Amino acid sequence: MEKQEAFSHWKQQSARKTDVSKKGSVDEDIEETVRLINQQERYFTTSSCSGRVIIINETLDNSTIQKQNCSWLFVTHKLCKPDDVFAALQNATGDVVLKFEPFVLHVQCRALEDAQLLHSVAINAGFRNSGITVGKKGKIIMAVRSTHGLEVPLTQNGKCLVNHEYIEFLVHTANKKMEENKRRITRFHSCLHKALQKEDCVHDKTSKEQASSCVYVRRRKRKDRSRKSNCSSSEEEHTDSEPELTLFNDP
């Protein structure tokens, strides 16, 4: 009971939080999926991205690409064009990287079996890198992930390392990955919807069987009490009638 209360509290807190992402809202391609998950008592989403093509400018004094140490030159959650990349490179000063990041979704789950259901759905939909983690406070997080990404350096110290033809090839490759990503999202939503419906049917059937069993037990108890009462009455009648018969037969 305490775990359920804690989960309900976390879910309420999450619902009241302001979206702090750069976009400030859920991506269009996964709105229905996020809504479906958050409608369930056992789940709520903590972060999400439908997938994106992003061009980032890494600072010169940093050897790793991190959000806090880079600027975004371009980002889209749709298909992109070579001209988008060429325009972004006009503002390049450091090390520019083109990335395709696939769909990612983090869901907090009420119980481990709920996380396992979601994990099974994700794996079947093609998100093979999905996993479950359990935190120190008992928070169960299911992450929907895949390795369907792309990361290619375009410039170093502001100098372009590739030609226009290769950039066009990269854009074509990134767009193919985006299209496959959308197909997987569609599969995930469909599989999730079916799994939740099946789970609800099983739950309803179990509840009805339990209710029917309780009714049977109550009826059985009433019958047992009735039999005991009848037996008791019969014994009393028999006991009371014996002296009457004896008295009746005396001369």
Q: Which residue has the higher pLDDT, 10 or 248?
A: 10
Would the pLDDT of 174 be above 70? yes
Residues of the chain with pLDDT > 90: what percent? Answer: 61
Q: Is the confidence at residue 223, as pLDDT, over 70?
A: no
Give residue 147's pLDDT.
Answer: 93
Regarding predicted confidence, which is higher, 12 or 248? 12
Task: Summarize pLDDT for 23-33 with one digit per residue, the tens.
Answer: 678 999 999 99
pLDDT at 128 over 60: yes
Q: Given the structure tokens 């269009």, which residue do they identify?
A: 28
pLDDT given for residue 248 in this prediction: 37
The larger pLDDT score, comparing residue 160 to residue 216, is at 160
Environment class of residue 12 by beta-carbon count within 10 Å: exposed (0-12), middle (13-18) or buried (19+)? exposed
Judge whether residue 107 has pLDDT over 90.
yes
Q: What is the pLDDT of residues 59-98, one digit of tens each?
A: 655 444 455 567 899 999 999 999 999 999 998 888 999 9
pLDDT at 122 over 90: yes
Q: Tell me how crowded residue 71 is: count the other CB atoms within 10 A of its CB.
A: 14
User: What residues have CB less than 8 Å from 124, skipping those under 6 apart?
Assistant: 187, 191
Domains in the chain, start-ordered, CATH in brackets?
A: 2-205 (3.30.1960.10)
Partners of 72 in the beta sheet? 56
- H/E run at residue 209: helix 164-249
Between 245 and 228, the more confident residue is 228
- Average of per-residue pLDDT across 220-234: 60
pLDDT for 247 beyond 50: no
What kind and span of H or E run contains 52?
strand 52-58
Q: How far apart are CA 118 and CA 38, in angstroms?
A: 13
pLDDT of 3 > 90? The answer is: no
Position 5 confidence tier, pLDDT thresholds 50, 70, 90: confident
DSSP 105-124: EEEEESSHHHHHHHHHHHHH
Taking residues 109-130, report their average pLDDT. Answer: 96
Q: How many CB atoms lie within 10 A of CB 231?
A: 10
